[in-house]
Structure formats: structure tokens, C-alpha cells
Amino acid sequence: MDRKVLSARIRKEKGKSAAKHLRAEGRLPAVIYDGKGVSTPIDVLESDFGKLFHQITRTTTIDIKLDDGRDVIAFVKDVQHDLVSDRVRHVDFYEVEAGKMIRTKIRVRVTGAPDAVRLGGVLETGVPEIEIECLPKALPERVAVDVTDLGLNETIFVKDLQLGEGVKILTHGDVSIASVKHVRSNVSEETAGEAGAGEEAAAAT
């Protein structure tokens, strides 16, 4: 997985006035939080973050290069948008230690269209995300599950997922990701019932 890179400056001035001044310069106020309760105020170019934001997920690790020479590995924790323009106003990053295991939840994206659906099946999706544990370098950006070959009354479970070396899945293995259920047609049953009733009425006359 390619790590994304973002340049940032240590932010010395705080408050609404300072933040407004930064935005006027095309920069975004932001904060890096670590796991020890320490926060570092920074600012980044709005254009740089805008390009990056469309390429990442909430588990994408970012190499933040600070102007004091430090490199911080982090992922986006929260993004605040303007209610009217929807422009990004503030970003929170969460720092991770390179050699320390982290736990997080990652979204599961179901892709493809099972042929079994054309045979009367209905695709049912299960959990939208799973919990995993791994080192930051092994953190997957996304989980995509292809259901094209899923047959009638078949299920893909969490235990069927292969996320790569070093990634431990914490969600129970028997939890469903996706399944195709065979559903009987109510229309056919009602039509058959009506036909039977018609035959009985004809026989009675």
C-alpha cells in the first residue's frame, strides 16, 4: 500500500481570528492527536488536502511532514465542512506509532452482481464494517468482496475474508458479509390459487 504524503506547518497562533486568516491564505487549520493525549496544532494547504481527501479512506495512513523536520504517521480522524459551501474548514488527524498494533473498523464494500439473482435469488448484505488489528504498515485501505460467483443459498462469511499477512480480524468469523436467498414468487402462488378457485367454481355449476 502506498502511503500518502502531506506537508504541514506547526501552527503557532490559535483561535477563530487566526483560523480565518489561514483560510484566507488558502490553508486549513488542523490538529494531530496522539494516543497519549497530546495535540499538535498544524496547518496545511487546502489544495493539497483536497487532492488527498479524494484518494483516501478512513484507514489510509498519511505521512505528515512537519516544517520542524519531524515525520508523523497518521490517518484522518474527523473533517469539518462548511454547512453552506461544503468546503473543508478543519481537519483532525490521529497519530499512530509505526511498531504498535492498532485496532480499528474498516468498511466492507460488496461488488458484483450474482448470476443467481436472475434465477430467483435475492442478494442480502450483512455487516457494513469489520473490526481488525494490525500494524499501521499492514492496515488495508478498504475491503472489497466480489459476489459475482455467489450461488443460490450461499453465504460469504467474515471467516472467508483474506486481508493479507499481519491483519487479524476481530469480528466473529460466522458473521455474514453477503448471501443469496431463494425467494418463492408470491405472484405465482396467488395465480395458481386463483386458477384453482376458478376450476372449482366451474365444476360446481
The pLDDT score that the predictor gives to residue 32 is 97
Specify the 3-state DSSP secondary structure of 117: helix
Q: What is the DSSP string of 33-51?
A: E-TTS-EEEEEEEHHHHHH
The pLDDT score that the predictor gives to residue 143 is 93
* Domains parsed from the chain with CATH numbers: 4-95 (2.40.240.10), 102-187 (2.170.120.20)
Q: Identify the CA nearest to 146 among candidates 108, 112, 109.
A: 112
For residues 184 and 96, the model is more confident at 96
* Mean pLDDT, residues 195-200 taken together: 52
pLDDT at 72 over 70: yes
Tally Cβ neighbours within 10 Å of residue 69: 6
Q: Are strands 62-66 and 4-10 parallel, antiparallel or unpaired?
A: parallel
pLDDT bin (cut points 50, 70, 90) of residue 182 is confident
pLDDT at 176 over 60: yes
Q: What percent of the chain has pLDDT over 90?
A: 71
Q: Identify the CA nearest to 101 among candidates 76, 137, 58, 63.
A: 137
pLDDT bin (cut points 50, 70, 90) of residue 59 is confident
The lowest-confidence range among 35-39, 43-47, 170-174 is 35-39
* Mean pLDDT, residues 96-110 taken together: 91
Q: Is 86:53 a contact under the CB 8 Å cutoff?
A: no
